[in-house]
Structure 1
Amino acid sequence: MYKTTLTPRVSETDAVGHINNTTLPVWFEAARNPLFDLFTPDHDFANWKLVIVKTTLEFIGQLYFGEDVEMRIWVEKIGKGSLELHEELHQAGNLCARNKAVYVNYNLEKQQSEKIPEAIRQELSKHLWETSN
Structure 2
Amino acid sequence: MYKTILTPRVSETDAVGHINNTTLPVWFEAGRKPVFDLFTPDHDFANWKMVIVKTTLEFTGQLYYGQDVEVNAWVKKVGGSSLELYEELHQSGKLCARNVAVYVNYNLESQESEKIPDAIREELDKHLWEAQDE
Q: TM-score category by the smaller chain?
A: over 0.9
Superimposed CA distance per residue, residues 31-79 of structure 1 (whole angstroms, 9 cap, x where no aligned partner): 1100000000000000000000000000000000000000000000000
Q: Check 1:110–1:78 CA distance in 2 against 1; reply closer, same or farther (3 A cut).
A: same
Alpha-carbon deviation of 1:131?
6.6
2:49 is matched with which residue? 49
* Structure 1: 5+ residue stretches without partners: none
Q: What is the rounded CA distance, in whole Å, between the counterparts of 1:132 and 1:51 in structure 2? A: 29
1:70 is matched with which residue? 70
Q: How many residues align?
A: 133
Q: What is the rounded CA distance, in whole Å, between the counterparts of 2:56 and 2:63 in structure 1? A: 18
Q: What is the rounded CA distance, in whole Å, between the counterparts of 1:84 and 1:58 in structure 2? A: 16
Q: What is the rounded CA distance, in whole Å, between the counterparts of 1:119 and 1:132 in structure 2? A: 26
2:16 is matched with which residue? 16
Q: Identical aligned pairs, as a percentage?
A: 80
Q: Check 1:132–1:6 CA distance in 2 against 1; reply closer, same or farther (3 A cut).
A: farther
User: One-letter code of the match for 1:91?
Assistant: Q
Secondary structure at the aligned position of 2:123 is classed as helix
1:109 is matched with which residue? 109
RMSD: 0.9
Per the normalisation by structure 1, the TM-score is 0.98
For residues 74-113 of structure 1, what are the structure 2 equivalents within 5 Å? 74-113=74-113
Alpha-carbon deviation of 1:132?
6.8
Superimposed CA distance per residue, residues 82-117 of structure 1 (whole angstroms, 9 cap, x where no aligned partner): 000000000000000000000000000000000000
